[in-house]
Every structure is written in C-alpha cells, then in structure tokens.
Chains A and B, each alone.
Chain A
Amino acid sequence: QTVVTQEPSLTVSPGGTVTLTCASSAGPVNSGYYTSWFQQKPGQPPTSLIYKTNYKHSWTPARFSGSLVGDKGALTLSGAQPEDEADYYCLLYNAGAQMFGGGTKLTVL
C-alpha cells in the first residue's frame, strides 16, 4: 500500500519562509496526483488551503503557495505569522483513491 510521507515537524521564524513537502512511496509526485493541502489547528476541523497542486481557495492567505519540488508536492509559506502554527496535511489522488500524509507540525518561533 502506498505511503505518503511528510516532515513530522518544522520550525519557522516569524516572517520567515518554510517549505513543507509531500512524497509518495509509489513514485514521483506529479500534477496527476492533484495534491491538496490542509491546515488544522487544535480542536478544529481541517481547512483547505491548496488544491490541484497550486490552486488557492478564495480564503487562502496569499502567503501560502503550492508547487512541485523535485519529485514531491510542496507547500511554501512565505512570511510566516504566529497564527500559521498548526498541523498541515497533504492529500494525494491516485487512480480513484486518495491518501493523506502523516502531517507536519509547524511551529512559528
């Protein structure tokens, strides 16, 4: 079974830039995986940030962007704010099924 891997934890300074990645054991992540990214704060449901690799919702702050970096999906946060401290999950689509990554705990410190 395919495993989706994310960094377990990352730390970014306020105002700094950080990239979270999403890898698949099935091979390189490309546009056909339609990578999505979700933010989840404690006690809250996830919020969708990015879909189809790099598309933003109307509510997605401009400082978040999605892309492909090497053979992985990526979420870049430019100009981190204290309120960006949260868990982040990627979701990959493949042949009619979907799989979440294990999540990245992002600390803004």
Chain B
Amino acid sequence: QITLKESGPTLVKPTQTLKLTCTFSGFSLGSSGLGVGWIRQPPGKALEWLALIFWDDEKRYNPSLKSRLTISKDTSKNQVFLTMTNMDPLDTATYYCARGAYCGGDCYDYWGQGTLVTVSS
C-alpha cells in the first residue's frame, strides 16, 4: 500500500522560510524511475506545480518560483523535503506531495492528503 503524508507548520509569518516534509511508504526513492513532487492549491483556486525530485537526485522546479524553492530527499528515511523562502500571504495554500514517475514526461499517481499552510503576521 502506497501512502504519502505531508507535515510542517500550519502558520508561518511573512518573510519566513517554510519547510515541509513528505513522509511516504510502500515505495522507495532508491527505485529507478520514481520521484516525489510538490503541488499546492490556494483556497478555492487551481493546482500549481512546484517541484519534483527523482531517485537519481535530478530536480525540477517551477520556473516562476525556482529562486525560492529547494527540494531534497532522505532516501533512507523515505522522506522528501520542500523549502520555500520569503513566504508571503499569497503563498497560503494546501500543499500536497505526490509520487511521481518518469514516463517519458513526468507522471503522478498517488497523492497525500495535503497540509494547509497559512501565511499571516
């Protein structure tokens, strides 16, 4: 059974740095072709792709947010991390992690339940 779960602060102040953790089970990032991505969704709005890291440590970033994002992994602990700097109220959103796979392009199958992050002073 494949599961993913996001964790991190629910409230951050403007200008602070957000660090989220995705803890997963049922697969390993030591397996060729697999990855974990981060996607967010502001309340009532559309999904926005943020970043993706592969088993071989290849990383992909949303070009419009690349300067603020860092994705990393700890394969031994089945965890992927996302750091976002200089948080703004517009970054208030539910943040999801999802299992990715290289399918020619990048594909996702299993998703976590998401974690709501509010940016407010």
Contacts and interface: CB of A to CB of B under 8 A. Distances in A.
Interface residues of B, number: 24
B108 A36 contact: yes
B46 A89 contact: yes
Contacts, number: 67
A91 B111 CA distance: 15
Interface in A47-88: 47-48, 51-52, 55, 57
B54 to A, nearest CB: 11
Nearest to A51: B107
The majority secondary structure among interface residues of chain B is: strand
A38 B48 CA distance: 13
Nearest to A31: B104
A38 B61 CA distance: 20
Contact residues on A (Cβ < 8 Å of other chain), bracket: 20 to 34
Contacts of B62: 97-98
Given A45-B96, A46-B47, A89-B47, A57 B109 contact: yes
Contacts of A40: 47
Given A48-B111, A96-B60, A91 B103 contact: no
Given A1-B63, A34-B104, A99 B109 contact: no
Which 8 pairs across A and B sit closest by C-beta, in order of nearness?
A34-B105, A93-B105, A51-B107, A98-B49, A100-B47, A45-B111, A103-B46, A102-B46
Interface of B: 39, 46-49, 52, 60-64, 96, 103-114
